[in-house]
Structure 1
Amino acid sequence: MGSERQDRMRELGARLRTLRAGAGLTGAALAQRAGVGQPTVSKVENGRMVPSLDVLERLSRALELDELAAREVRELLAAVEMAVDSGRDSDGDAPERAVLDDAVRSARLVRSFQCVVLPAMLQSAEYARHVFQSAPHSTPEGVGRAVAARVGRQGVLYEPGRESVFVLTEAVLRTWPGTPSLMLAQLDRLLAVESSSTVRLGVIPWDRPMPVMPRHGFTLCDESAVVVEAFHDERVSADADQVAAYEEAFGLFERAAVFGDEVRELLLQVMKQFRELADNVTR
Protein backbone atom coordinates (compact mmCIF):
# COMPACT_ATOMS: atom_id res chain seq x y z
CA MET A 1 0.00 0.00 0.00
CA GLY A 2 1.27 3.48 -0.81
CA SER A 3 1.75 6.29 1.67
CA GLU A 4 -0.84 8.93 2.46
CA ARG A 5 1.19 11.38 0.39
CA GLN A 6 1.10 9.08 -2.65
CA ASP A 7 -2.65 8.65 -2.27
CA ARG A 8 -3.13 12.42 -2.29
CA MET A 9 -0.83 12.76 -5.32
CA ARG A 10 -2.95 10.26 -7.23
CA GLU A 11 -6.12 12.08 -6.19
CA LEU A 12 -4.77 15.41 -7.46
CA GLY A 13 -3.59 13.81 -10.69
CA ALA A 14 -6.90 12.09 -11.34
CA ARG A 15 -8.81 15.34 -10.82
CA LEU A 16 -6.56 17.23 -13.24
CA ARG A 17 -6.91 14.46 -15.81
CA THR A 18 -10.72 14.64 -15.52
CA LEU A 19 -10.65 18.42 -15.94
CA ARG A 20 -8.38 18.12 -18.98
CA ALA A 21 -10.65 15.53 -20.60
CA GLY A 22 -13.64 17.76 -19.90
CA ALA A 23 -11.88 20.62 -21.67
CA GLY A 24 -11.30 18.39 -24.71
CA LEU A 25 -7.49 18.70 -24.53
CA THR A 26 -4.77 16.13 -24.97
CA GLY A 27 -1.88 16.08 -22.53
CA ALA A 28 0.40 17.55 -25.19
CA ALA A 29 -2.04 20.36 -25.97
CA LEU A 30 -2.42 21.22 -22.28
CA ALA A 31 1.35 21.25 -21.82
CA GLN A 32 1.77 23.62 -24.77
CA ARG A 33 -0.92 25.97 -23.49
CA ALA A 34 0.51 25.97 -19.97
CA GLY A 35 4.13 26.37 -21.07
CA VAL A 36 5.31 23.22 -19.30
CA GLY A 37 6.79 19.98 -20.60
CA GLN A 38 4.44 17.22 -21.72
CA PRO A 39 6.20 14.74 -19.38
CA THR A 40 5.30 17.07 -16.50
CA VAL A 41 1.60 16.85 -17.33
CA SER A 42 1.83 13.07 -17.65
CA LYS A 43 3.70 12.60 -14.36
CA VAL A 44 1.34 14.89 -12.45
CA GLU A 45 -1.77 13.18 -13.81
CA ASN A 46 -0.37 9.76 -12.97
CA GLY A 47 0.47 10.78 -9.41
CA ARG A 48 4.22 10.51 -9.95
CA MET A 49 5.12 14.19 -9.51
CA VAL A 50 4.04 16.94 -7.15
CA PRO A 51 3.57 20.14 -9.19
CA SER A 52 4.80 23.41 -7.79
CA LEU A 53 2.15 26.02 -7.11
CA ASP A 54 3.33 27.92 -10.17
CA VAL A 55 2.91 24.86 -12.42
CA LEU A 56 -0.52 24.15 -10.94
CA GLU A 57 -1.63 27.73 -11.61
CA ARG A 58 -0.36 27.51 -15.19
CA LEU A 59 -2.37 24.33 -15.71
CA SER A 60 -5.43 25.93 -14.14
CA ARG A 61 -5.21 28.93 -16.45
CA ALA A 62 -4.65 26.72 -19.48
CA LEU A 63 -7.74 24.69 -18.53
CA GLU A 64 -9.67 27.95 -17.99
CA LEU A 65 -10.88 26.73 -14.62
CA ASP A 66 -13.44 28.80 -12.77
CA GLU A 67 -12.61 29.96 -9.25
CA LEU A 68 -14.35 26.99 -7.61
CA ALA A 69 -12.39 24.39 -9.61
CA ALA A 70 -9.13 26.34 -9.26
CA ARG A 71 -9.58 26.46 -5.49
CA GLU A 72 -10.36 22.74 -5.45
CA VAL A 73 -7.08 21.77 -7.15
CA ARG A 74 -5.11 24.18 -4.91
CA GLU A 75 -6.65 22.47 -1.89
CA LEU A 76 -5.73 19.07 -3.32
CA LEU A 77 -2.14 20.27 -3.71
CA ALA A 78 -2.15 21.55 -0.13
CA ALA A 79 -3.36 18.11 0.99
CA VAL A 80 -0.40 16.52 -0.80
CA GLU A 81 2.02 18.88 0.89
CA MET A 82 0.55 18.25 4.33
CA ALA A 83 0.30 14.47 3.92
CA VAL A 84 2.64 12.15 5.78
CA ASP A 85 5.19 10.45 3.54
CA SER A 86 6.32 6.95 4.46
CA GLY A 87 9.83 7.80 3.18
CA ARG A 88 9.54 5.19 0.38
CA ASP A 89 7.88 5.16 -3.00
CA SER A 90 5.78 2.26 -4.31
CA ASP A 91 8.88 0.45 -5.55
CA GLY A 92 10.68 0.76 -2.22
CA ASP A 93 13.18 3.30 -3.55
CA ALA A 94 14.60 6.39 -1.91
CA PRO A 95 12.38 9.49 -2.21
CA GLU A 96 13.58 11.77 -5.00
CA ARG A 97 12.73 15.10 -3.37
CA ALA A 98 10.83 16.09 -6.50
CA VAL A 99 9.00 18.77 -4.53
CA LEU A 100 12.03 21.04 -4.36
CA ASP A 101 13.56 20.16 -7.71
CA ASP A 102 10.34 20.63 -9.64
CA ALA A 103 9.40 23.83 -7.82
CA VAL A 104 12.79 25.30 -8.73
CA ARG A 105 12.53 24.06 -12.29
CA SER A 106 9.24 25.88 -12.90
CA ALA A 107 10.22 29.23 -11.32
CA ARG A 108 11.73 32.18 -13.17
CA LEU A 109 13.29 33.68 -10.03
CA VAL A 110 14.88 31.34 -7.50
CA ARG A 111 16.44 32.53 -4.25
CA SER A 112 17.94 29.86 -2.02
CA PHE A 113 19.65 30.09 1.36
CA GLN A 114 21.53 27.11 2.80
CA CYS A 115 23.45 26.74 6.04
CA VAL A 116 24.61 23.10 5.91
CA VAL A 117 23.99 21.35 2.56
CA LEU A 118 24.59 22.77 -0.91
CA PRO A 119 21.49 23.83 -2.87
CA ALA A 120 20.10 21.00 -4.97
CA MET A 121 20.67 22.85 -8.24
CA LEU A 122 24.39 23.28 -7.48
CA GLN A 123 25.19 19.74 -6.39
CA SER A 124 27.57 17.59 -8.40
CA ALA A 125 26.44 14.04 -9.16
CA GLU A 126 28.66 12.52 -6.47
CA TYR A 127 27.64 15.07 -3.85
CA ALA A 128 23.96 14.43 -4.67
CA ARG A 129 24.59 10.69 -4.39
CA HIS A 130 25.69 11.13 -0.78
CA VAL A 131 22.62 13.28 -0.08
CA PHE A 132 20.23 10.63 -1.39
CA GLN A 133 22.13 7.73 0.19
CA SER A 134 21.58 9.34 3.60
CA ALA A 135 17.79 9.19 3.15
CA PRO A 136 15.94 6.50 5.11
CA HIS A 137 15.29 3.25 3.18
CA SER A 138 17.45 4.27 0.22
CA THR A 139 18.35 1.63 -2.35
CA PRO A 140 21.14 1.74 -4.96
CA GLU A 141 18.60 1.75 -7.80
CA GLY A 142 16.51 4.52 -6.26
CA VAL A 143 19.57 6.62 -5.49
CA GLY A 144 20.83 6.24 -9.05
CA ARG A 145 17.53 7.43 -10.51
CA ALA A 146 17.31 10.32 -8.06
CA VAL A 147 20.83 11.51 -8.87
CA ALA A 148 20.21 11.30 -12.63
CA ALA A 149 16.96 13.26 -12.28
CA ARG A 150 18.56 15.96 -10.13
CA VAL A 151 21.52 16.47 -12.44
CA GLY A 152 19.22 16.46 -15.47
CA ARG A 153 17.16 19.30 -14.04
CA GLN A 154 20.17 21.55 -13.46
CA GLY A 155 20.28 22.74 -17.07
CA VAL A 156 17.51 25.21 -16.25
CA LEU A 157 20.11 27.31 -14.41
CA TYR A 158 21.39 28.59 -17.73
CA GLU A 159 18.09 29.32 -19.47
CA PRO A 160 17.67 32.94 -20.69
CA GLY A 161 15.12 34.92 -18.71
CA ARG A 162 15.79 32.95 -15.53
CA GLU A 163 17.58 34.30 -12.45
CA SER A 164 18.97 32.22 -9.59
CA VAL A 165 20.48 33.68 -6.42
CA PHE A 166 22.16 31.33 -3.96
CA VAL A 167 23.44 32.40 -0.55
CA LEU A 168 25.44 29.94 1.54
CA THR A 169 27.21 30.11 4.83
CA GLU A 170 30.92 29.27 4.70
CA ALA A 171 30.01 26.22 6.78
CA VAL A 172 28.32 24.74 3.71
CA LEU A 173 31.64 24.77 1.87
CA ARG A 174 33.30 22.98 4.78
CA THR A 175 30.62 20.39 5.51
CA TRP A 176 31.70 17.60 3.23
CA PRO A 177 30.66 14.04 2.49
CA GLY A 178 32.86 11.38 0.96
CA THR A 179 36.42 12.52 0.32
CA PRO A 180 38.35 15.77 -0.08
CA SER A 181 38.61 14.96 -3.79
CA LEU A 182 34.82 14.92 -4.07
CA MET A 183 34.69 18.40 -2.56
CA LEU A 184 37.41 19.68 -4.87
CA ALA A 185 35.29 18.67 -7.85
CA GLN A 186 32.22 20.19 -6.21
CA LEU A 187 33.93 23.50 -5.50
CA ASP A 188 35.22 23.58 -9.06
CA ARG A 189 31.60 23.26 -10.21
CA LEU A 190 30.64 26.21 -8.00
CA LEU A 191 33.30 28.33 -9.67
CA ALA A 192 31.93 27.40 -13.09
CA VAL A 193 28.31 28.11 -12.11
CA GLU A 194 29.26 31.42 -10.49
CA SER A 195 30.53 32.69 -13.82
CA SER A 196 27.12 32.27 -15.47
CA SER A 197 25.17 35.45 -16.24
CA THR A 198 21.96 33.84 -14.93
CA VAL A 199 23.38 32.93 -11.50
CA ARG A 200 24.52 34.95 -8.48
CA LEU A 201 26.41 33.02 -5.83
CA GLY A 202 27.08 34.54 -2.44
CA VAL A 203 28.79 33.21 0.68
CA ILE A 204 28.58 34.55 4.22
CA PRO A 205 32.18 34.23 5.53
CA TRP A 206 32.70 32.73 8.94
CA ASP A 207 34.25 35.97 10.22
CA ARG A 208 31.02 37.92 9.67
CA PRO A 209 28.19 37.73 12.20
CA MET A 210 24.95 36.15 11.01
CA PRO A 211 22.17 38.75 10.75
CA VAL A 212 19.68 36.17 12.08
CA MET A 213 20.34 32.64 13.28
CA PRO A 214 19.16 30.16 10.62
CA ARG A 215 17.02 27.18 11.59
CA HIS A 216 17.09 25.44 8.21
CA GLY A 217 17.57 25.96 4.50
CA PHE A 218 14.81 27.32 2.29
CA THR A 219 14.17 28.23 -1.32
CA LEU A 220 11.92 31.00 -2.62
CA CYS A 221 10.29 30.24 -5.97
CA ASP A 222 9.31 33.48 -7.71
CA GLU A 223 7.43 35.58 -5.16
CA SER A 224 4.62 33.11 -4.59
CA ALA A 225 6.00 30.10 -2.70
CA VAL A 226 8.73 28.93 -0.35
CA VAL A 227 10.11 25.41 -0.02
CA VAL A 228 11.26 24.71 3.54
CA GLU A 229 13.72 21.85 3.90
CA ALA A 230 13.56 19.68 7.00
CA PHE A 231 15.65 16.58 7.76
CA HIS A 232 13.22 14.04 6.32
CA ASP A 233 11.16 16.00 3.82
CA GLU A 234 10.28 19.31 2.18
CA ARG A 235 7.18 21.43 2.50
CA VAL A 236 5.89 24.04 0.07
CA SER A 237 3.97 27.03 1.43
CA ALA A 238 2.12 29.63 -0.61
CA ASP A 239 0.96 31.51 2.48
CA ALA A 240 1.63 35.18 1.76
CA ASP A 241 2.78 35.98 5.30
CA GLN A 242 5.20 33.05 5.37
CA VAL A 243 6.61 33.89 1.95
CA ALA A 244 7.09 37.51 3.03
CA ALA A 245 8.88 36.44 6.22
CA TYR A 246 11.29 34.23 4.28
CA GLU A 247 11.87 36.97 1.71
CA GLU A 248 12.84 39.33 4.53
CA ALA A 249 15.22 36.74 6.00
CA PHE A 250 16.76 36.07 2.58
CA GLY A 251 17.38 39.80 2.13
CA LEU A 252 19.30 39.87 5.41
CA PHE A 253 21.43 36.88 4.43
CA GLU A 254 22.06 38.30 0.96
CA ARG A 255 23.30 41.61 2.35
CA ALA A 256 25.70 39.79 4.68
CA ALA A 257 27.23 37.71 1.86
CA VAL A 258 30.16 38.40 -0.44
CA PHE A 259 29.78 38.02 -4.21
CA GLY A 260 31.89 38.24 -7.34
CA ASP A 261 35.66 38.44 -6.88
CA GLU A 262 35.38 38.00 -3.12
CA VAL A 263 33.41 34.78 -3.36
CA ARG A 264 35.77 33.40 -6.02
CA GLU A 265 38.74 34.18 -3.78
CA LEU A 266 37.03 32.41 -0.88
CA LEU A 267 36.25 29.35 -3.02
CA LEU A 268 39.87 29.13 -4.17
CA GLN A 269 41.05 29.40 -0.57
CA VAL A 270 38.78 26.56 0.55
CA MET A 271 39.89 24.46 -2.45
CA LYS A 272 43.52 24.93 -1.41
CA GLN A 273 42.71 23.60 2.04
CA PHE A 274 40.88 20.58 0.59
CA ARG A 275 43.91 19.85 -1.61
CA GLU A 276 46.04 19.80 1.53
CA LEU A 277 43.57 17.38 3.11
CA ALA A 278 43.65 15.19 0.00
CA ASP A 279 47.46 15.15 0.05
CA ASN A 280 47.43 14.08 3.71
CA VAL A 281 45.01 11.26 2.93
CA THR A 282 47.22 9.85 0.16
CA ARG A 283 50.43 9.94 2.22
Structure 2
Amino acid sequence: MKRSRPPSIRLRRLAAELKRLRVAAALRQEEVAEQTGLDASSIYRIERAMNKPQRRTVTTLLDLYGVTDPGRRATLLDWLKDPGQQTWIKEFTPELPEIYGAYVGFEHEAESLRWTASMFVPALLQTEEYARALLSEGAKVVPTDVAQRATVRMHRQSILYRPIPARLWVILDEAVLRRVVGSPELMHRQLDKLVASAGRPNIRLQVVPFSEGVHLGMEGDFVMLDFADPNDPPLVYADGLAGVALREKAEDVARFAAIFDTIAEHALPPGESRTMIESAARALV
Protein backbone atom coordinates (compact mmCIF):
# COMPACT_ATOMS: atom_id res chain seq x y z
CA MET A 1 0.00 0.00 0.00
CA LYS A 2 2.34 2.67 -1.24
CA ARG A 3 1.25 6.26 -1.54
CA SER A 4 3.29 8.24 -4.04
CA ARG A 5 1.57 11.59 -3.61
CA PRO A 6 -0.85 13.40 -1.28
CA PRO A 7 -4.31 11.77 -1.06
CA SER A 8 -6.87 12.44 -3.75
CA ILE A 9 -10.36 13.66 -2.96
CA ARG A 10 -11.65 10.12 -3.49
CA LEU A 11 -9.07 8.55 -1.18
CA ARG A 12 -9.97 10.99 1.59
CA ARG A 13 -13.65 10.19 1.01
CA LEU A 14 -13.01 6.45 1.16
CA ALA A 15 -10.93 6.79 4.33
CA ALA A 16 -13.68 8.75 6.09
CA GLU A 17 -16.36 6.24 5.05
CA LEU A 18 -14.35 3.20 6.14
CA LYS A 19 -13.84 4.78 9.55
CA ARG A 20 -17.56 5.58 9.80
CA LEU A 21 -18.47 2.00 8.90
CA ARG A 22 -16.06 0.61 11.50
CA VAL A 23 -17.48 2.84 14.22
CA ALA A 24 -21.04 1.92 13.20
CA ALA A 25 -20.07 -1.76 13.51
CA ALA A 26 -18.83 -1.04 17.06
CA LEU A 27 -15.36 -2.32 16.27
CA ARG A 28 -12.01 -1.02 17.43
CA GLN A 29 -9.10 -0.93 15.02
CA GLU A 30 -7.41 -3.73 16.98
CA GLU A 31 -10.52 -5.90 16.63
CA VAL A 32 -10.62 -5.28 12.89
CA ALA A 33 -6.98 -6.32 12.66
CA GLU A 34 -7.66 -9.54 14.60
CA GLN A 35 -10.65 -10.50 12.45
CA THR A 36 -9.11 -9.69 9.08
CA GLY A 37 -5.45 -10.50 9.59
CA LEU A 38 -4.50 -6.96 8.68
CA ASP A 39 -2.02 -5.00 10.74
CA ALA A 40 -3.59 -2.50 13.16
CA SER A 41 -1.21 0.19 11.95
CA SER A 42 -2.46 -0.41 8.38
CA ILE A 43 -6.06 0.17 9.51
CA TYR A 44 -4.96 3.41 11.15
CA ARG A 45 -3.17 4.63 8.03
CA ILE A 46 -6.04 3.66 5.74
CA GLU A 47 -8.55 5.58 7.86
CA ARG A 48 -6.33 8.67 7.81
CA ALA A 49 -5.85 8.45 4.00
CA MET A 50 -2.13 7.95 4.57
CA ASN A 51 -2.13 4.83 2.40
CA LYS A 52 -4.11 3.73 -0.63
CA PRO A 53 -5.44 0.25 0.22
CA GLN A 54 -5.56 -2.59 -2.25
CA ARG A 55 -8.93 -3.56 -3.66
CA ARG A 56 -8.99 -6.88 -1.79
CA THR A 57 -8.30 -5.06 1.48
CA VAL A 58 -11.31 -2.79 0.99
CA THR A 59 -13.44 -5.80 0.00
CA THR A 60 -12.39 -7.58 3.19
CA LEU A 61 -13.29 -4.55 5.30
CA LEU A 62 -16.67 -4.14 3.62
CA ASP A 63 -17.43 -7.80 4.29
CA LEU A 64 -16.56 -7.35 7.95
CA TYR A 65 -18.64 -4.18 8.26
CA GLY A 66 -21.66 -5.83 6.71
CA VAL A 67 -21.85 -3.75 3.54
CA THR A 68 -23.78 -6.11 1.24
CA ASP A 69 -25.55 -3.76 -1.16
CA PRO A 70 -23.86 -4.23 -4.57
CA GLY A 71 -24.31 -0.60 -5.59
CA ARG A 72 -22.84 0.70 -2.35
CA ARG A 73 -19.87 -1.65 -2.57
CA ALA A 74 -19.26 -0.65 -6.20
CA THR A 75 -19.26 3.04 -5.27
CA LEU A 76 -16.74 2.58 -2.47
CA LEU A 77 -14.48 0.41 -4.60
CA ASP A 78 -14.73 2.96 -7.41
CA TRP A 79 -13.14 5.53 -5.09
CA LEU A 80 -9.93 3.49 -5.36
CA LYS A 81 -9.66 4.35 -9.04
CA ASP A 82 -8.29 7.47 -10.69
CA PRO A 83 -9.55 10.44 -8.64
CA GLY A 84 -11.68 11.63 -11.52
CA GLN A 85 -9.49 14.62 -12.30
CA GLN A 86 -10.69 16.86 -15.07
CA THR A 87 -9.16 15.87 -18.42
CA TRP A 88 -6.97 18.93 -18.82
CA ILE A 89 -5.02 18.43 -15.56
CA LYS A 90 -3.86 14.94 -16.57
CA GLU A 91 -1.74 16.51 -19.28
CA PHE A 92 0.22 18.54 -16.74
CA THR A 93 0.25 16.28 -13.66
CA PRO A 94 3.70 14.73 -14.30
CA GLU A 95 5.32 18.19 -14.37
CA LEU A 96 3.51 19.60 -11.33
CA PRO A 97 4.92 19.40 -7.79
CA GLU A 98 3.07 16.64 -5.92
CA ILE A 99 1.37 18.79 -3.29
CA TYR A 100 0.38 21.39 -5.86
CA GLY A 101 -1.01 18.73 -8.19
CA ALA A 102 -3.05 17.26 -5.34
CA TYR A 103 -4.29 20.72 -4.39
CA VAL A 104 -5.51 21.42 -7.93
CA GLY A 105 -7.56 18.24 -7.76
CA PHE A 106 -9.10 19.30 -4.44
CA GLU A 107 -9.74 22.81 -5.76
CA HIS A 108 -11.66 21.42 -8.72
CA GLU A 109 -13.99 19.57 -6.32
CA ALA A 110 -14.45 22.45 -3.87
CA GLU A 111 -17.83 24.03 -3.28
CA SER A 112 -16.35 27.16 -1.69
CA LEU A 113 -12.93 28.70 -1.07
CA ARG A 114 -11.70 31.30 1.41
CA TRP A 115 -8.40 32.84 0.32
CA THR A 116 -6.00 35.33 1.91
CA ALA A 117 -3.33 37.03 -0.20
CA SER A 118 -0.76 39.49 1.11
CA MET A 119 1.69 39.62 -1.80
CA PHE A 120 0.08 38.78 -5.15
CA VAL A 121 -3.31 38.35 -6.79
CA PRO A 122 -4.65 34.83 -6.11
CA ALA A 123 -4.27 32.41 -9.03
CA LEU A 124 -8.03 32.12 -9.58
CA LEU A 125 -8.26 35.85 -10.30
CA GLN A 126 -5.07 36.39 -12.30
CA THR A 127 -4.91 37.40 -15.94
CA GLU A 128 -2.68 35.13 -18.01
CA GLU A 129 -0.12 37.88 -18.62
CA TYR A 130 0.05 38.63 -14.88
CA ALA A 131 0.58 34.93 -14.18
CA ARG A 132 3.33 34.68 -16.78
CA ALA A 133 5.10 37.79 -15.46
CA LEU A 134 4.85 36.53 -11.89
CA LEU A 135 6.19 33.10 -12.77
CA SER A 136 8.99 34.52 -14.90
CA GLU A 137 10.18 37.01 -12.30
CA GLY A 138 9.80 34.73 -9.30
CA ALA A 139 11.46 31.36 -8.93
CA LYS A 140 13.90 30.21 -11.60
CA VAL A 141 11.45 28.60 -14.00
CA VAL A 142 12.31 27.73 -17.61
CA PRO A 143 10.10 29.37 -20.27
CA THR A 144 8.27 26.14 -21.15
CA ASP A 145 7.36 25.61 -17.48
CA VAL A 146 6.17 29.20 -17.22
CA ALA A 147 3.83 28.63 -20.14
CA GLN A 148 2.54 25.35 -18.72
CA ARG A 149 1.97 26.68 -15.22
CA ALA A 150 0.23 29.78 -16.54
CA THR A 151 -2.02 27.55 -18.64
CA VAL A 152 -2.86 25.46 -15.58
CA ARG A 153 -3.82 28.62 -13.68
CA MET A 154 -6.14 29.72 -16.45
CA HIS A 155 -7.82 26.29 -16.54
CA ARG A 156 -8.22 26.34 -12.76
CA GLN A 157 -10.36 29.45 -13.03
CA SER A 158 -13.09 27.46 -14.77
CA ILE A 159 -14.50 26.45 -11.37
CA LEU A 160 -15.76 30.03 -11.01
CA TYR A 161 -17.72 29.90 -14.27
CA ARG A 162 -19.21 26.41 -14.36
CA PRO A 163 -23.04 25.97 -14.24
CA ILE A 164 -22.89 25.73 -10.43
CA PRO A 165 -19.84 27.89 -9.76
CA ALA A 166 -17.59 27.58 -6.75
CA ARG A 167 -17.97 30.39 -4.23
CA LEU A 168 -14.81 32.40 -3.67
CA TRP A 169 -14.11 34.79 -0.80
CA VAL A 170 -10.78 36.59 -1.19
CA ILE A 171 -9.17 39.00 1.26
CA LEU A 172 -6.29 40.97 -0.26
CA ASP A 173 -3.72 43.12 1.46
CA GLU A 174 -3.58 46.59 -0.14
CA ALA A 175 0.02 45.78 -1.09
CA VAL A 176 -1.35 43.37 -3.72
CA LEU A 177 -2.96 46.35 -5.49
CA ARG A 178 0.05 48.64 -5.22
CA ARG A 179 2.80 46.21 -6.22
CA VAL A 180 3.29 46.51 -9.98
CA VAL A 181 3.91 43.15 -11.63
CA GLY A 182 5.22 43.22 -15.20
CA SER A 183 4.38 46.80 -16.17
CA PRO A 184 1.87 49.52 -15.22
CA GLU A 185 -0.23 48.65 -18.28
CA LEU A 186 -0.25 44.95 -17.42
CA MET A 187 -1.09 45.72 -13.79
CA HIS A 188 -3.92 48.01 -14.87
CA ARG A 189 -5.49 45.18 -16.84
CA GLN A 190 -5.10 42.89 -13.84
CA LEU A 191 -6.86 45.35 -11.56
CA ASP A 192 -9.64 45.70 -14.14
CA LYS A 193 -10.12 41.94 -13.91
CA LEU A 194 -10.36 42.18 -10.12
CA VAL A 195 -13.05 44.84 -10.45
CA ALA A 196 -14.99 42.68 -12.90
CA SER A 197 -14.59 39.63 -10.65
CA ALA A 198 -15.86 41.57 -7.65
CA GLY A 199 -19.10 42.11 -9.54
CA ARG A 200 -19.84 38.38 -9.84
CA PRO A 201 -22.40 36.99 -7.37
CA ASN A 202 -20.20 34.01 -6.41
CA ILE A 203 -17.14 36.14 -5.62
CA ARG A 204 -16.64 38.24 -2.49
CA LEU A 205 -13.56 40.43 -2.66
CA GLN A 206 -12.25 42.54 0.23
CA VAL A 207 -9.12 44.55 0.87
CA VAL A 208 -7.22 45.14 4.11
CA PRO A 209 -5.98 48.76 3.78
CA PHE A 210 -2.54 49.94 4.88
CA SER A 211 -4.26 52.00 7.56
CA GLU A 212 -5.00 48.78 9.46
CA GLY A 213 -1.28 48.28 10.06
CA VAL A 214 0.09 44.82 10.80
CA HIS A 215 -2.39 41.93 10.60
CA LEU A 216 -2.32 38.12 10.68
CA GLY A 217 -2.65 37.81 6.91
CA MET A 218 0.90 39.10 6.52
CA GLU A 219 2.33 35.90 8.04
CA GLY A 220 1.57 33.80 4.97
CA ASP A 221 -1.09 33.18 2.35
CA PHE A 222 -3.54 30.30 2.61
CA VAL A 223 -6.74 29.02 1.06
CA MET A 224 -9.46 27.04 2.83
CA LEU A 225 -11.49 24.55 0.82
CA ASP A 226 -14.97 23.34 1.73
CA PHE A 227 -16.79 20.55 -0.10
CA ALA A 228 -20.44 19.77 -0.75
CA ASP A 229 -20.11 16.09 0.19
CA PRO A 230 -20.17 15.65 3.99
CA ASN A 231 -17.69 12.78 3.57
CA ASP A 232 -15.10 15.30 2.36
CA PRO A 233 -13.81 17.27 5.35
CA PRO A 234 -12.44 20.78 4.72
CA LEU A 235 -8.74 21.35 4.26
CA VAL A 236 -6.23 24.18 4.08
CA TYR A 237 -3.47 24.82 1.55
CA ALA A 238 -0.94 27.06 3.27
CA ASP A 239 1.96 28.89 1.66
CA GLY A 240 4.55 30.34 4.02
CA LEU A 241 8.28 30.73 4.60
CA ALA A 242 8.55 27.00 5.38
CA GLY A 243 7.00 26.10 2.02
CA VAL A 244 3.57 24.84 1.04
CA ALA A 245 1.51 22.27 2.94
CA LEU A 246 -1.92 20.69 2.97
CA ARG A 247 -3.51 20.81 6.42
CA GLU A 248 -6.29 18.32 7.05
CA LYS A 249 -6.50 17.89 10.83
CA ALA A 250 -9.69 19.36 12.28
CA GLU A 251 -7.77 21.44 14.82
CA ASP A 252 -5.56 22.93 12.08
CA VAL A 253 -8.56 23.77 9.90
CA ALA A 254 -10.31 25.39 12.86
CA ARG A 255 -7.22 27.47 13.64
CA PHE A 256 -6.98 28.77 10.07
CA ALA A 257 -10.72 29.50 10.02
CA ALA A 258 -10.30 31.63 13.13
CA ILE A 259 -7.35 33.44 11.54
CA PHE A 260 -9.37 34.12 8.40
CA ASP A 261 -12.24 35.57 10.45
CA THR A 262 -9.80 37.81 12.30
CA ILE A 263 -8.31 39.09 9.04
CA ALA A 264 -11.83 39.72 7.69
CA GLU A 265 -12.52 41.99 10.66
CA HIS A 266 -9.76 44.32 9.41
CA ALA A 267 -10.93 44.33 5.79
CA LEU A 268 -13.04 46.96 4.06
CA PRO A 269 -16.59 45.96 3.04
CA PRO A 270 -16.88 44.66 -0.54
CA GLY A 271 -18.19 47.96 -1.93
CA GLU A 272 -15.40 50.04 -0.41
CA SER A 273 -12.86 47.41 -1.44
CA ARG A 274 -14.01 47.60 -5.05
CA THR A 275 -13.69 51.40 -4.93
CA MET A 276 -10.12 51.07 -3.67
CA ILE A 277 -9.25 48.66 -6.49
CA GLU A 278 -10.71 51.06 -9.06
CA SER A 279 -8.68 53.89 -7.53
CA ALA A 280 -5.47 51.84 -7.68
CA ALA A 281 -6.18 51.08 -11.36
CA ARG A 282 -6.71 54.78 -12.19
CA ALA A 283 -3.40 55.62 -10.55
CA LEU A 284 -1.63 53.45 -13.13
CA VAL A 285 -3.05 55.23 -16.18
- Which residue of 142, 167, 170 maps to 2:171? 167
Q: How does 1:86-235 map to 2 (within 5 A)?
A: 95=97, 97-134=100-137, 136-159=139-162, 160=164, 162-212=166-216, 214-222=218-226, 224-230=234-240, 233-235=243-245
- Measure how far apart 1:150 and its partner are: 1.1
- Measure how far apart 1:177 and its partner are: 1.8
Letter in 2 for 1:152: H
> If the length of structure 1 is used for normalisation, what is the TM-score?
0.66
C-alpha contact (below 8 Å) 1:135/1:232 kept by paired residues: no
Distance 1:142 1:66 in 2: 44
C-alpha contact (below 8 Å) 2:180/2:187 kept by paired residues: yes
- Which residue of 236, 255, 259 maps to 1:249? 259
Partner of 2:49: 74
Partner of 2:11: 56
1:50-106 Cα distance to aligned partner (Å, 9 max, x none):
555x443246579999766684371148xxxxxxxxxxx998x68594344333222
For the residue of structure 2 that corresponds to 1:186, the secondary structure is helix
Distance 1:252 1:161 in 2: 26
- Measure how far apart 1:131 and its partner are: 2.9
Letter in 2 for 1:168: L
Distance 1:12 1:174 in 2: 43
C-alpha contact (below 8 Å) 1:115/1:214 kept by paired residues: yes
Distance 1:112 1:179 in 2: 25
- Compared with structure 1, are the counterparts of its residues 129 and 252 closer, same or farther at alpha carbon in structure 2 (3 Å cutoff)? same
**Structure 2: gaps spanning 5 or more residues:** 23-41, 53-91, 227-232
Letter in 1 for 2:105: D
C-alpha contact (below 8 Å) 1:94/1:135 kept by paired residues: no
Partner of 2:268: 258
- Which residue of 237, 241, 246 maps to 2:247? 237
Letter in 2 for 1:75: M
Corresponding residue pairs, total: 218
Distance 1:170 1:150 in 2: 23
C-alpha contact (below 8 Å) 1:101/1:120 kept by paired residues: no
C-alpha contact (below 8 Å) 1:51/1:102 kept by paired residues: no
From the CA coordinates, give the structure whose radius of gyration is larger.
Answer: 2
Partner of 1:36: none
- Measure how far apart 1:191 and its partner are: 1.0
1:11-35 Cα distance to aligned partner (Å, 9 max, x none):
436xxxxxxxxxxxxxxxxxxxxxx
Larger CA deviation: 219-228 vs 67-76: 67-76
